[in-house]
């Protein structure tokens, strides 16, 4: 009985991800899109837990659901749009986009199922120790570079948004 | 019965292409940015799935995911800054209306 | 001093650079002084070299540096100092110096004064290189250099069309001759493995007759271009468009003697190549009489002198052809003096008349320009080969050698030409200096030239008077013969003919000259017969001569027109095919650019779509590998 817990959780999370993702793309109101995006992030965090990557799941919640969602909401807040007719909802190139995307999606999904091995996903033990060891020992230099990248992005964002004071 | 690896990858793929469709189809720049985040999440999912499946051999996929988090956050910040300054120039976030690079 | 022989061309080169770079802004009239001084210094060094060679140095090679060293091909920049080249150096530098001094006066009012001396100095430099070189390639450098300077100086007054047309003509004809020189030079290298004179002349025997004949005829063709013999002579009369000092220096004393020097220097080759010398002698003789006939009827005083130069150069080649190279060089030296004097004197007349060159407007000038008159008289008599002037000794040496070596036809041609020469000289001098002035306005304003011009005239006059006696007496055994003997050792005319033969031949030459003078005197002073009547009676012959046998028109119609057609075709090819190709490529680039511009919609979403499209392609490729449609 307990054996079925994993597939069941997986199914629930999958439905959540896919429908929320579709909702982000198709929703009328931007705020709906933003909140559905946050919900997608949460579901993905659940997937991480299912895989046994607790640290990553924690990061996911902190960074994506916490920071990025808030940023997006700020963006929504500062770019008010007058109400638009529905007809202008999609870009002019929607036809071509669909044409490109759908075949690829189907193809990749099919290919994905070739990974049939049903060996247990979710290795024993957490991922914190290997992760920490890797980041702070083997990849210490990229870690430092990443911090500089964040600094640069922060400065860049500030400079871009600054008003020219007369 | 455990969940096969391919299932995780399939979910990742579908989410990725939902995000791609959002980038190509929606007009609102902020929504496009959200779709990009969806794509990034999809790749994170795939990476972690592979990394955890072959954790005994190589756990470095997860390390890469950490760095993707960093870059994604930076990218959202800068992207929003761009949208905001473009909005200040001409009060629209409609990507179809931004055609100054034409020709 | 021989070791310092490289100073000789160095001074004019320095003068060229200084005058060329600084002359226009800062030096003005000093350019002439600097250039003259430089050539004067060269003359001093040349005298020193000459004395040292006289003292017994047979031949020396003074190498400056190795110029080309590629595989088997080695050329040095080196000077070959032997009696022949030291004589040439002396003649070139001394005559050049006098002409430079003269030019300071003649060109005084010309606004291109500094440019004149710049080119003239460069010319002297190139001529000295030509004379000093120890190999054919270095000589060619000088050969080309004098051709270039000739072009620059003939076209000196390029504001008018005639000078630059004449300059082009001179240069192109020279170039055609240069083609011959080049073939000779290259064949020499292929046959002998070297272009150095000493190497080639020591190994003459290894070449076949055919090779030698080819080399010699090719070199001689080059010489006809440079020394204005048939068929490449017609540039020289046109070259009179240049300033008179240029005519004196380049087209009388130095550049045109380059061809004579080439053949003289290459005598070992010519001697070994059977018929070549006969060709040289015949062409020289024919040219001599041909040019003399044209000179009979010309009215421009400079043109008379020009045709005279062509004729006298013919004499020099005649001498080379009959095995008397010493006589040829001797005549080269004396001719340099008296012909330069004739030209400078003509220049003095032209200067004094304010630019008039037509003898029909002159007359009676001997009272107004005495120095010019007397010096030109000396030169004219020398040209007519009257003893004891220089011209007699050298021309007589040529004719005597021709007779003694059995070339009786050539001797006869030479005698007839001597008669004609004496006649036209008398005619020219009489029309200019004697009789009643035909244009009183010109006559009233005529004046003698300043000292800076008359002193060189006097110096040349003295040279003309004494040079022959000092250097060429007695005939066949004089100083010049013994001096140049080592150079031409082994040449045919080694035997000294008897005194009686020599005296008889000399008498015949002198008689020929006197006959010519008497006929001239009779026709122009006594009007018996009257020149105008003779011209009318001769009718068609006269027209033929006045129009220079219509050679120029012949060349133009036959040769130049053919080239013009070819050039027209090439020009059309250039404009339509080559330019057309370039234009079409440009049009293509513009159109394709315009077409590709359509892809730049400016809508960023389209660009994202393109990226995804690329992803599609990659996945398709990968998928077909995976599925097996495309082999790995």
* Residue listed under structure tokens 């007699």: C392
Contacting residues of C for A101, CB less than 8 Å apart = 612
Residue A48 has a pLDDT of: 92
> In this structure, are C223 and C185 located in the same domain?
yes
Q: Are C107 and C31 in contact (CB under 8 A)?
A: no
> In this structure, are C76 and C125 located in the same domain?
yes
Distance from CA of C630 to the nearest CA of B (A): 24
Instruction: Say how many CB pairs under 8 Å bridge A and B.
Output: 253
> In this structure, are A105 and A42 located in the same domain?
yes
Q: What is the CATH number of the domain that holds A52?
A: 1.20.120.1200
Subunits next to A (3 or more Cβ pairs <8 Å) are B, C
Q: Chain A contact for C626, CB < 8 A?
A: yes
Tell me which residue of C42, C44, C75 sits closest to C61, measured CA to CA.
C75
Confidence band (pLDDT; 50, 70, 90) for A83? low
Residue C73 has a pLDDT of: 84
Q: Does residue C137 carry a pLDDT above 50? A: yes
Q: Chain A contact for C615, CB < 8 A?
A: yes
Residue C118 has a pLDDT of: 92
Please judge whether B6 and A115 are an interchain contact, meaning their C-beta atoms are less than 8 angstroms apart.
yes
Long-range contacts formed by C193-200: CB under 8 A, 24+ apart: C193/C72, C194/C74, C194/C135, C195/C75, C195/C135, C195/C136, C195/C137, C196/C76, C196/C134, C196/C135, C197/C80, C197/C134, C197/C135, C197/C136, C197/C265, C198/C59, C198/C61, C198/C80, C198/C134, C200/C268, C200/C269
Between C406 and C97, whose confidence is greater?
A: C97
Of A91, A104, A111, the CB nearest to C616: A104
Q: Does residue A118 carry a pLDDT above 70? A: no
Q: Does residue A64 carry a pLDDT above 60? A: yes
Interface of B with A in 61-100 (CB under 8 A): 62-63, 65-67, 69-78, 80-85, 87-88, 92-96
Shortest CA distance from A91: residue in chain C: C605
Domain that holds residue A155: 127-166
Q: Chain A contact for B12, CB < 8 A?
A: yes
Tokens of C50: 């000459």
Strand partners, C73: C70
Contacting residues of A for B12, CB less than 8 Å apart = 112
Q: Chain A contact for B57, CB < 8 A?
A: no
Instruction: Say how many CB pairs under 8 Å bridge B and C.
Output: 28
Contacting residues of C for B96, CB less than 8 Å apart = 603, 605
Shortest CA distance from A128: residue in chain B: B62
How does pLDDT run across C215-273, given as a tens digit for each residue? Answer: 999 999 999 988 888 888 888 888 888 899 998 988 777 888 889 999 999 888 888 87
Q: Chain B contact for A123, CB < 8 A?
A: yes
Q: Does residue C523 carry a pLDDT above 70? A: yes
Residue A82 has a pLDDT of: 66
* Residue listed under structure tokens 């190709």: C581
- Best of B16, B17, B20, B33 to mutate (most C CBs within 10 Å, chain C): B20
Sequence spans of domains, chain B: 27-93
Q: How many residues does chain A have?
A: 166
Q: Chain A contact for B27, CB < 8 A?
A: yes
How does pLDDT run across C464-484, given as a tens digit for each residue? Answer: 888 877 776 666 666 777 777
Contacting residues of A for B37, CB less than 8 Å apart = 37, 41, 64, 68, 72
Average pLDDT over residues C73-102: 89
Q: Are C435 and C359 in contact (CB under 8 A)?
A: no
Residue C390 has a pLDDT of: 78
Mean pLDDT rounded to a whole number for chain C: 85
Which range among B52-56, C54-58, C113-117, C359-363 shows the weakest confidence by mean pLDDT? C54-58
| Range ranked top by mean pLDDT from A120-124, C15-19, C392-396 | C15-19
Domains identified in chain A, total number:
2
Please judge whether A53 and B51 are an interchain contact, meaning their C-beta atoms are less than 8 angstroms apart.
yes
Q: Does residue A86 carry a pLDDT above 50? A: no
Q: Does residue A87 carry a pLDDT above 60? A: no
Average pLDDT over residues C392-403: 84
Confidence band (pLDDT; 50, 70, 90) for A90? low
Residue A16 has a pLDDT of: 95
Contacting residues of C for A96, CB less than 8 Å apart = 609
Contacting residues of C for B23, CB less than 8 Å apart = 608
Q: Chain C contact for A123, CB < 8 A?
A: no
Q: Chain A contact for C619, CB < 8 A?
A: yes
Distance, CA of C179 to chain centre: 16
Q: Does residue A104 carry a pLDDT above 80? A: no
CB within 8 A of C591, min separation 6: which ones?
Answer: none
Residue A117 has a pLDDT of: 65
Q: Chain B contact for A150, CB < 8 A?
A: yes
What does each C-alpha distance from C465 to C32, C86, C125, C269 come to in angstroms?
Answer: 28, 22, 28, 35
Distance from CA of B95 to the nearest CA of C (A): 7
> In this structure, are C457 and C570 located in the same domain?
no
How does pLDDT run across C285-340, given as a tens digit for each residue? Answer: 999 999 998 888 888 889 899 999 999 999 999 999 888 888 888 899 889 998 99
Q: Chain C contact for A74, CB < 8 A?
A: no
> In this structure, are C183 and C276 located in the same domain?
yes
Confidence band (pLDDT; 50, 70, 90) for A119? low
How does pLDDT run across B36-62, given as a tens digit for each residue? Answer: 999 999 999 999 988 888 877 777 888
Interface of C with A in 586-605 (CB under 8 A): 603, 605
Omega before residue A140 within 30° of 0, cis: no
| Range ranked top by mean pLDDT from A5-19, C58-72, C269-283, C532-546 | A5-19
Of B9, B33, B62, the CB nearest to A127: B62
> What is the full per-residue pLDDT of chain B (103 aa) written as tens digits?
578 888 888 899 999 999 998 888 888 889 999 999 999 999 999 999 888 888 777 778 889 999 999 999 999 999 999 999 888 887 777 887 777 777 6
Please judge whether C612 and A107 are an interchain contact, meaning their C-beta atoms are less than 8 angstroms apart.
no
Tokens of A94: 């929607």
Domain that holds residue C158: 2-548
How large is the ipTM? 0.91
Interface of B with C (CB under 8 A): 20, 23-24, 95-96, 98-103
pTM listed for this prediction: 0.69
Contacting residues of A for C605, CB less than 8 Å apart = 91-93
Between C508 and C261, whose confidence is greater?
A: C261
Residue C475 has a pLDDT of: 63
Contacting residues of A for C606, CB less than 8 Å apart = 93
Q: At what angle do helices B29-53 and B60-89 cross, to 10 degrees?
A: 180
* Residue listed under structure tokens 């919900």: A39
User: Using CA atoms, how far apart are residues B93 and C473, in angstroms rounded to an integer?
Assistant: 113
Residue C365 has a pLDDT of: 82
Q: Chain B contact for A65, CB < 8 A?
A: no
Between B100 and C196, whose confidence is greater?
A: C196
> In the 3-class helix/strand/coil scheme, how is chain A assigned residue by residue?
CHHHHHHHHHHHHHHHHHHHHHHHHHCCCHHHHHHHHHHHHHHHHHHHHHHCCHHHHHHHHHHHHHHHHHHHHHHHHHCCCCCCCHHHCECCCHHHHHHHHHHHHHHHHHHHCCCCCCCCCCCCCCCHHHHHHHHHHHCHHHHHHHHHHHHHHHHHHHHHHCCCCC
How does pLDDT run across C161-182, given as a tens digit for each residue? Answer: 889 889 998 999 999 999 999 9
SS3 of residue C495 by DSSP: coil
Residue C389 has a pLDDT of: 81
Confidence band (pLDDT; 50, 70, 90) for C398? confident
Please judge whether C601 and B20 are an interchain contact, meaning their C-beta atoms are less than 8 angstroms apart.
no
Confidence band (pLDDT; 50, 70, 90) for C492? very low
The per-residue b/e assignment along C94-106, b for 16 or more CB within 10 angstroms, e otherwise, is bbbbbbbbbbbbb
Distance, CA of C543 to chain centre: 29
CB within 8 A of C187, min separation 6: which ones?
Answer: C211, C214, C215, C218
């Amino acid at each position: 009985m307990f054996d079925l817990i994993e597939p069941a959780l997986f199914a629930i999370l999958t439905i959540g991800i896919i429908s929320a993702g579709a909702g982000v793309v198709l929703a009328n109101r931007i705020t709906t899109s933003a909140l559905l995006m946050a919900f997608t992030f949460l579901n993905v965090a659940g997937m991480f837990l299912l895989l046994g990557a607790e640290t990553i799941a924690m990061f996911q919640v902190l960074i994506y659901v916490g920071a990025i969602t808030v940023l997006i909401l700020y963006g929504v807040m500062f770019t008010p749009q007058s109400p638009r007719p529905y007809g202008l909802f999609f870009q002019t190139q929607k036809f071509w986009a669909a044409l490109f995307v759908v075949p690829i999606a189907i193809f990749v999904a099919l290919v994905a199922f070739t990974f049939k091995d049903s060996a247990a996903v979710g290795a024993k033990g957490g991922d914190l120790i290997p992760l920490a060891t890797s980041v702070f020992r083997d990849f210490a230099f990229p870690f430092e570079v990443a911090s500089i990248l964040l600094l640069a992005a922060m400065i860049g964002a500030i400079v871009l948004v600054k008003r020219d004071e007369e | 019965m455990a969940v096969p690896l391919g299932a995780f990858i399939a979910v990742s793929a579908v989410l990725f292409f939902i995000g791609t469709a959002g980038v190509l189809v929606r007009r609102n720049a902020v929504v496009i940015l959200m779709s990009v985040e969806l794509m990034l999440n999809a790749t994170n999912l795939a990476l972690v799935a592979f990394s955890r499946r072959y954790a005994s051999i190589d756990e470095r996929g997860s390390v890469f995911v950490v760095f993707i988090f960093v870059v994604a956050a930076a990218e959202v910040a800068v992207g929003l800054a761009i949208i905001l300054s473009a909005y200040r120039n001409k009060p629209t976030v409609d990507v179809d209306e931004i055609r100054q690079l034409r020709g | 001093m021989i070791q310092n022989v490289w100073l000789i061309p160095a001074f004019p080169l320095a003068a060229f650079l200084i005058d060329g770079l600084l002359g226009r802004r800062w030096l003005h009239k000093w350019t002439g002084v600097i250039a003259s001084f430089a050539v004067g210094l060269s003359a001093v060094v040349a005298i020193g070299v000459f004395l040292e060679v006289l003292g017994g140095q047979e031949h020396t090679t003074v190498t400056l540096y190795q110029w080309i060293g590629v595989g088997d091909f080695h050329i040095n920049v080196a000077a070959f100092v032997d009696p022949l080249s030291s004589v040439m150096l002396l003649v070139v530098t001394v005559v050049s110096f006098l002409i430079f001094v003269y030019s300071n006066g003649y060109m005084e009012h010309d606004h291109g004064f500094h440019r004149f001396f710049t080119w003239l100095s460069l010319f002297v430099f190139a001529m000295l290189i030509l004379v000093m070189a120890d190999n054919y390639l270095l000589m060619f450098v000088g050969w080309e250099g004098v051709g270039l300077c000739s072009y620059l100086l003939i076209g000196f007054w390029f504001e008018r069309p005639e000078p630059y047309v004449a300059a082009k003509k001179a240069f192109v004809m020279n170039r055609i001759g240069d083609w011959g020189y080049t073939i000779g030079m290259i064949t020499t290298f292929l046959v002998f493995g070297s272009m150095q004179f000493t190497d080639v002349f020591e190994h003459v025997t290894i070449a076949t007759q055919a090779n030698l004949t080819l080399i010699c005829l090719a070199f001689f063709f080059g010489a006809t271009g440079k020394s204005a013999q048939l068929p490449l002579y017609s540039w020289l009369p046109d070259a009179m468009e240049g300033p008179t000092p240029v005519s004196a220096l380049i087209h009388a004393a130095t550049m045109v003697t380059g061809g004579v020097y080439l053949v003289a220097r290459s005598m070992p080759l010519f001697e070994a190549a059977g018929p070549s010398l006969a060709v040289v002698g015949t062409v020289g003789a024919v040219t001599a009489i041909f040019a003399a006939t044209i000179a009979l009827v010309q009215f421009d005083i400079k043109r008379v002198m020009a045709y005279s130069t062509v004729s006298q150069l013919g004499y020099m080649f005649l001498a080379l052809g009959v095995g008397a190279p010493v006589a040829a060089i001797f005549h080269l030296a004396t001719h340099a003096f008296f012909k330069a004097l004739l030209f400078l004197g003509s220049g003095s007349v032209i200067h004094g008349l304010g630019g008039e060159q037509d003898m029909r407007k002159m007359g009676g000038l001997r009272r107004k320009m005495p120095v010019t008159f007397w010096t030109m008289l000396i030169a004219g008599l020398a040209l007519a080969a009257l003893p004891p002037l220089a011209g007699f000794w050298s021309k007589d040496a040529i004719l005597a050698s021709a007779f003694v070596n059995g070339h009786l036809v050539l001797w006869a041609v030479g005698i007839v030409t001597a008669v004609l020469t004496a006649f036209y000289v008398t005619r020219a001098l009489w029309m200019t200096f004697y009789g009643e002035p035909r244009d009183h306005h010109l006559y009233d304003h005529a004046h003698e030239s300043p000292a800076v011009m008359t002193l060189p005239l006097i110096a040349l006059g003295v040279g003309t008077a004494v040079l022959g006696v000092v250097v060429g007496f007695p005939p066949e055994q004089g100083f010049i013969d013994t001096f140049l003997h080592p150079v031409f050792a082994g040449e045919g005319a080694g035997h000294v003919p008897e005194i009686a033969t020599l005296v008889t031949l000399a008498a015949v030459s002198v008689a020929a000259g006197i006959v010519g003078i008497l006929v001239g005197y009779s026709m122009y002073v006594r009007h018996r017969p009257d020149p105008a009547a003779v011209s009318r009676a001769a009718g068609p012959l006269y027209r033929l001569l006045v129009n220079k046998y219509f050679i120029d028109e012949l060349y133009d119609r036959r040769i130049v027109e053919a080239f013009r057609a070819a050039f027209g075709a090439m020009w059309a090819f250039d404009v339509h095919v080559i330019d057309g190709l370039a234009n079409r490529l440009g049009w293509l680039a513009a159109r394709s650019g315009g077409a590709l511009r359509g892809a730049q919609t400016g809508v960023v979403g389209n660009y994202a779509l393109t990226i995804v499209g690329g992803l599609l392609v990659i996945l398709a490729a990968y998928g077909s590998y995976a599925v097996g449609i495309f082999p790995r």
